[in-house]
Amino acid sequence: MKLFKGKVVMPLAKLLVIADDLTGANDTGMQFAKRGFNTVSLLEIENPVKSQSIDVLVYNAETRSLAAAEAYEKIKDVVPSLSLSDMPYIYKKVDSMMRGNVGAEIDALLDMEAFDIALVAPAYPKNRRITVGGYHLVNHHLLEDSEAGSDAKSPVRESHLPTLLESQTRRSVAHLDIRAIRKHELIEKVQDCISQNRRIIVCDSALESDLKSITEALFSSGMHVLWVGSAGLAECLAGMLENSVGMIPDSEETAEHENHPVFCIAGSVSAVTRGQLNTLSNYKEFAFATARLSCLFSEGERRREQDRLVEYIVNAAQEGYYPVLTTETSAEAEAATRKWMEAHNANSLEAGNLIADFLGETGAKAVSRYAFKGLVLTGGDIAYRTCEHLGVQALRILGEVEEGIPLCEIIGGQASGLPVITKAGAFGNPHSLFHAVQKIKNSAIRGGNFV
Question: pLDDT at residue 3 above 50?
Answer: no
Least confident of 21-30, 32-41, 252-261: 252-261
Q: Tell me whether residue 114 is in a domain.
A: yes
Percent of the chain with pLDDT over 90: 65
Please report the sign of the dihedral spanned by the C-alpha atoms of residue 389, residue 295, residue 285, residue 283: negative
202 in the same domain as 149: yes
How many Cβ atoms sit within 10 Å of the Cβ of residue 157?
A: 11
**First-to-last C-alpha distance (Å) of the chain:** 41
**What is the average per-residue pLDDT within 28-41?**
92
229 and 280 inside one domain: no
Same domain for 271 and 237: no
pLDDT at 314 over 90: yes
Using CA atoms, how far apart are residues 31 and 231, in angstroms rounded to an integer? 7
Is residue 4 domain-resident?
A: no
Q: Which are the contacts of 343, defined by CB distance < 8 A and separation ≥ 6?
A: none
Query: Is 311 inside a domain boundary?
Result: yes
* pLDDT at position 2 over 60: no
Domain, as residue range, for 75: 15-241
- Residue 300 domain-assigned (yes or no): yes
pTM: 0.80
User: How far is residue 385's CA from residue 380's CA, in Å, rounded to a whole number?
Assistant: 9
Q: Are residues 99 and 67 in the same domain?
A: yes
Domain total in the chain? 2
pLDDT at 7 over 60: no
- Same domain for 299 and 393? yes
Whether residue 275 is found in the same domain as residue 209: no
Per-residue pLDDT at 247 exceeds 50: no
Q: Is residue 1 part of a domain?
A: no
pLDDT tier, 349 (very low <50, low <70, confident <90, very high otherwise): confident
Q: What are 289's strand-pairing partners?
A: 325
CATH code for the domain of 34: 3.40.50.10840
For the stretch 250-309, pLDDT in tens is 333 344 456 799 999 997 778 888 899 999 999 999 999 999 888 877 778 889 999 999
